[in-house]
């Protein structure tokens, strides 16, 4: 997939995703927990992606998560995560499909926001 096309999908997704997580928050009084988010990434993504605030990915082509905001807004990840990872993994045969619920996504996004370089 072309980068520009991918970016548009993500931005569109983020607008919807924000509402989605806000709904989960309103329903349950839940607040995002970055520690849980990190654990989910450790379990599902760490075999290929660097998931900490520093470091390089085990698979060099896989974006280090602390650099994700250099590519697109972290918020835009929400809906893509909900839809099942991942628009951006077209053509990555070893990349499995993931599905997370709204709570898990809120946690993941909170964690990702906490490790962005800037």
Q: How far is the CB of 52 from ligand HEC (least distance, A)?
A: 14
Q: How far is the CB of 27 from ligand HEC (least distance, A)?
A: 24
Residues 6+ apart with CB under 8 A from 95: 48, 85, 86, 89
2/54 with CB nearer ligand HEC? 2
CB neighbours of residue 94 within 10 Å: 9
90/118 with CB nearer ligand HEC? 90
Where along the sequence are the contacts to ligand HEC (CB under 6 A)? 6, 44-45, 47-49, 59, 61-63, 68, 71, 85-86, 88-89, 92, 94-95, 98
Q: How far is the CB of 30 from ligand HEC (least distance, A)?
A: 20
85/110 with CB nearer ligand HEC? 85
Inter-CA distances, 94 with 45, 47, 64, 88, 89, Å: 12, 11, 17, 13, 9
Rounded to the nearest 5 degrees, what angle is found at the Cα of 76, between the Cα atoms of 42 and 108?
25
Radius of gyration of the chain (CA): 13
16/27 with CB nearer ligand HEC? 16
Residue identified by tokens 């999908």 is: 9
Q: How far is the CB of 53 from ligand HEC (least distance, A)?
A: 16
């Amino acid at each position: 997939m072309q980068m520009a096309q991918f970016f548009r999908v993500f931005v569109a997704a983020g607008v919807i995703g924000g509402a989605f997580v806000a709904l989960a928050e309103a329903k349950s009084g839940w607040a995002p927990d970055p520690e849980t988010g990190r654990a989910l990434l450790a379990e599902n993504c760490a075999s290929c992606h660097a998931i900490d605030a520093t470091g390089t990915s085990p698979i060099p082509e896989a974006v280090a998560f602390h650099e994700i905001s250099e590519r697109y807004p972290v918020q835009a990840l929400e809906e893509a995560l909900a839809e099942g990872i991942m628009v951006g993994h077209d053509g990555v045969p070893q990349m499995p499909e993931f599905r997370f619920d709204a709570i898990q996504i809120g946690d993941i996004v909170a964690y990702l926001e906490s490790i962005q370089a800037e």
